[in-house]
């Protein structure tokens, strides 16, 4: 079935416009309510949100739809996506819902549904839910505000703190929370564990989420790390399910580098899966694959999306996987990518080895990679576009085994994403722009 509501990470759009209008949010809640009632005698759902100004009314409309179906709602208020997943799994809840558009601007928002397992719903379940939503449009009546249950977040922070016995021993950390979900959580967690914390991007006003801060904008974090002689800087995105880092010298450390330093440390400790492997996506750099191989660790690639990474991890029994963008999944600790948990694991390796991030990532040779986004009016099978296919084949032939070409459509925006990777930056950029130009000519707005 063709999906019109659910993308790669829930339902996303401009807040106030379909499908993120009040009427549809209520219909989503009602459809979810009918789904959980079929399998739970006393169904309850936990709802969380990030700091966008549209979050409270969307949460209220969704809760009204759930309530109309006889489903109780507990409201976590501002929390993280992984925090909501933790609550869904450990609390008396049939499901969890996170109101967030992650790294998108404040005008956007989204609805992510999590099962009682704490996992994001598989595609086939999302398709069934979508069919029910479309068959039963909601009513636009407005809904009363929800009351926050602060105890839900406290249990989540207790869980995270318990994963790092021994604490952080005075490590100096600059923390950029993107004016989002982690703004009141991450500084408190790291200080509780003994770190000296310099907070940034921790003053949300409903409209400044991800605005020139957080994991998409690392320049200010880098400057702060250098100015304050910090040991490390960490930046989250709006819902704190991803984390990127800055070393003490100002080097940017992305998700690929995190996967390498964790995998190598865990293999040495006997904590990695047997046989040793890491699950990543098609976007991860070829340099990561080769660095892991040099340590006897296999890398498995999946489509983009942390839920696809998780599905492959479960299938193969892997304990570590993630994305270049900073979504890292530690299956022994969590059911989804968790930026604060990722930070704790990185800090743990630094603490245990006595090494800084420069030393821990020194052997990662990053191949030049360029990503070009092309806004498109429609999506078509690329095999039906001979000129585009020819440019892709030319790039693949030119690089051979020393490079990669990936062209895909975004699951959340009207974009075609062109990624080219290889040993020579000029050739990489040339091929990326040639392919993008062909797509623009065929499908551009």
The DSSP line for 380-393 is --GGG-HHHHHHHH
Contact 225, 246 (CB under 8 A): yes
pLDDT of residue 154: 94
- DSSP 3-state of 438: helix
**Does residue 321 lie in a domain region?**
yes
Q: Within a 13 Å sphere around the CA of 131, how many CA atoms are in the beta-carbon half?
A: 8
pLDDT of residue 220: 96
What global pTM score does this model have?
0.90
Could you tell me if 119 and 177 lie in one domain?
no
Could you tell me if 306 and 380 lie in one domain?
no
Could you tell me if 278 and 306 lie in one domain?
yes
Minimal CA–CA distance to 342: which of 226, 211, 214, 186? Answer: 186
Contact 60, 97 (CB under 8 A): no
**Of 224, 249, 274, which closes a domain?**
249
**Does residue 114 lie in a domain region?**
yes
Could you tell me if 311 and 385 lie in one domain?
no
CATH of the domain at 202: 3.40.120.10
**Does residue 376 lie in a domain region?**
yes
Could you tell me if 244 and 257 lie in one domain?
no
Our count of domains for the chain comes to 4
Cα separation of the two ends of the chain:
26
Could you tell me if 36 and 103 lie in one domain?
yes
**Does residue 280 lie in a domain region?**
yes
CA atoms of 345 and 258, how far apart (whole Å):
9
Provide the residue range defining the domain that includes 168: 154-249
Distance of CA 153 to the CA centre of its chain: 19
Partnered with residue 422 across adjacent β-strands are: none
pLDDT of residue 2: 56
- How would you label 248-260 residue by residue, b for 16+ Cβ within 10 Å and e otherwise? beebbbbbbbbbb
CA atoms of 178 and 217, how far apart (whole Å):
9
Contact 144, 50 (CB under 8 A): no
Could you tell me if 263 and 219 lie in one domain?
no
Could you tell me if 437 and 414 lie in one domain?
yes
**Does residue 160 lie in a domain region?**
yes
**Does residue 288 lie in a domain region?**
yes
Question: pLDDT tens, position by position, for the chain (445 residues)?
Answer: 456 898 877 899 999 999 999 999 999 999 999 999 998 888 999 999 999 999 999 999 999 999 999 999 999 999 999 999 999 999 999 999 999 999 999 999 999 999 999 988 888 899 999 999 999 887 777 788 899 998 999 999 999 999 999 999 999 999 999 999 999 999 999 999 999 999 999 999 999 999 999 999 999 999 999 999 999 999 999 999 999 999 999 999 999 999 999 999 999 999 999 999 999 999 999 999 999 999 999 999 999 888 899 999 999 999 999 999 999 999 999 999 999 999 999 999 999 999 999 999 999 999 999 999 999 988 888 888 999 999 999 999 999 988 999 998 887 788 999 999 999 999 999 999 999 999 999 998 7
Q: Is 183 a catalytic residue?
A: no
**Does residue 346 lie in a domain region?**
no
102, 181, 273, 284: the active-site residue: 102
Could you tell me if 93 and 117 lie in one domain?
yes
Contact 30, 111 (CB under 8 A): no
CATH of the domain at 393: 3.30.310.50
**Does residue 349 lie in a domain region?**
no
Could you tell me if 70 and 99 lie in one domain?
yes
**Of 207, 231, 249, which closes a domain?**
249
CA atoms of 44 and 29, how far apart (whole Å):
12
Could you tell me if 67 and 161 lie in one domain?
no
Q: Which helix (H) or strand (E) holds 321?
A: strand 320-322
Partnered with residue 444 across adjacent β-strands are: 376
**Of 194, 215, 249, which closes a domain?**
249
- How would you label 351-379 residue by residue, b for 16+ Cβ within 10 Å and e otherwise? beeeeebeebbeebeebbbbebebebeee
Could you tell me if 50 and 114 lie in one domain?
yes
């Amino acid at each position: 079935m063709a999906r019109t509501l659910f993308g790669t990470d829930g339902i996303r759009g401009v807040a106030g416009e379909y499908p993120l209008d009040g009427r549809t949010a209520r219909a989503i809640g009602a459809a979810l309510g009918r789904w959980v009632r079929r399998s739970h005698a006393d169904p309850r759902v936990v709802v969380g949100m990030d700091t966008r100004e549209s979050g409270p009314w969307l949460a209220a409309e969704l809760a009204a739809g759930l309530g109309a179906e006889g489903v109780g709602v507990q409201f976590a208020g501002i929390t993280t996506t992984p925090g909501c997943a933790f609550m869904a799994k450990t609390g008396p809840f049939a499901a969890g819902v996170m109101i967030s558009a992650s790294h998108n601007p404040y005008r956007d928002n989204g609805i992510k549904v999590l099962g009682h397992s704490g996992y994001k719903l598989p595609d086939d379940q999302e398709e069934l839910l979508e069919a029910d939503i479309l068959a039963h449009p909601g009513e636009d009546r407005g809904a009363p505000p929800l009351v926050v249950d602060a105890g839900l977040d406290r249990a989540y922070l207790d869980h995270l703190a318990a994963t790092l016995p021994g604490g952080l021993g005075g490590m100096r950390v600059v923390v950029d929370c993107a004016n989002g979900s982690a703004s009141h959580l991450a500084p408190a967690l790291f200080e509780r564990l003994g770190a000296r914390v310099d907070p940034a991007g921790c003053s949300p006003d409903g409209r400044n989420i991800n605005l020139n801060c957080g994991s998409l904008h690392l320049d200010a974090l880098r400057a702060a790390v250098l100015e304050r002689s910090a040991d490390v800087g960490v930046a989250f995105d709006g819902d704190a399910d991803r984390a990127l880092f800055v070393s003490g010298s100002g080097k940017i450390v992305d998700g690929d580098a995190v996967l390498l330093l964790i995998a190598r440390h865990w293999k040495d400790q006997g904590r990695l899966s047997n046989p040793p492997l890491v699950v990543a996506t098609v976007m991860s750099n070829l340099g990561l694959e080769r660095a892991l191989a040099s340590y006897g660790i296999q890398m498995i690639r999946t489509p983009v999306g942390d839920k696809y990474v998780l599905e492959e991890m479960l299938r193969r029994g892997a304990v570590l996987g993630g994305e270049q963008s900073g979504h890292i999944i530690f299956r022994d600790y969590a059911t989804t990518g968790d930026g604060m948990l990722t930070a704790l694991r990185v800090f743990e390796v630094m603490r245990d080895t006595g090494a800084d991030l420069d030393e821990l990532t020194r052997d990662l040779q990053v191949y030049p990679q360029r990503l070009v986004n092309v806004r498109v009016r429609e999506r078509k099978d690329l095999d039906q576009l001979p000129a585009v296919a020819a440019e892709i084949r030319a790039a693949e032939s030119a690089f051979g085994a020393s490079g990669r070409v990936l062209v895909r459509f975004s699951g959340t925006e009207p974009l075609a994403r062109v990624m080219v990777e290889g040993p020579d930056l000029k050739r990489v950029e040339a091929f990326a722009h040639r392919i993008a130009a062909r797509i623009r000519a065929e499908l551009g707005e």
